[in-house]
A = this chain, B = another copy of it.
Amino acid sequence: MNRMLMPSSRERALLSRAGIFSELDGSEAEALRACSTVMASGSHDILFQEGEPAAYFYSVLEGYVRLFRLNGEGREADIRICEPGDSFAECLIQAGGTYRYGAQSMDNTVLARFHIGKVRTLLAQHPRIGTAIMRSLSMHLLATMECLANDRMQTAPQRVAHYILSHCVEEGPATASLRLPFPKNLLARKLGLAPEALSRAFSTLKSAGVTVRGRSIAVNDVNTLRRI
């Protein structure tokens, strides 16, 4: 299921592109890298479950990981979809103990796994690593707060419009397009919707000039979309 990989130069390159490493200098990056192992996992593999003792935090190098919580019986809710460059569970460096949510690979993924205890030790010696982690935590917190606010005030079509507008690239006068990096059911999870609701949201947005074909999305008029 999970196979360990030799740290190849390709993986070193991927790793240094991870958000945690930006703004670290050579020796800091090397010290942090020394706490990590690169690993791979297949689609649907569970990386850890809510409640397990927490030993590692992770950075996604390739693929997608979903973080979720379970309710008493059966129901589960997604909290976040992690993309390449994202890290997760680094909050346990300071709020340690056990994982507070589950993590599941949603594709063939490559991950860097950091030993929490070792990284914690590093903080005294390399304060800028602490700063890098604070930056990551801060950005996650802001993103999660925005997500919460959007859940509480936006309808499904508005959430989808917002996603499109913040990920598309302009192509011509007010037109834009976008190719989803993952299947629609992952986008639905990310937005807190059932897949059916996402599909209906897209069809609502047709009248606002949004065309969907497979993973390709085209926007006729960015300004119309913004008014949704």
Contact = CB atoms under 8 A, between A and B. Distances in A.
Contacts of A30: none
Interface SS, A side: helix
A69 B101 contact: no
Given A77-B149, A79-B149, A151-B151, A94 B138 contact: yes
Nearest to A71: B153
Chain A interface extent, by class: 35 or more
B139 A95 contact: yes
Interface string A67-98: 11101000111111000000000011111000
B142 A134 contact: no
Identical subunits present: 2
Interface in A92-134: 92-95, 100-101, 123-124, 127, 130-131, 133-134
A34 interface: no
A192 B150 CA distance: 11
Nearest to A68: B149
A144 B138 contact: no
A35 interface: no
Contact of A135 (B76, B94, B135): B94
Interface of A: 67-69, 71, 75-80, 91-95, 100-101, 123-124, 127, 130-131, 133-135, 137-142, 144-154, 192
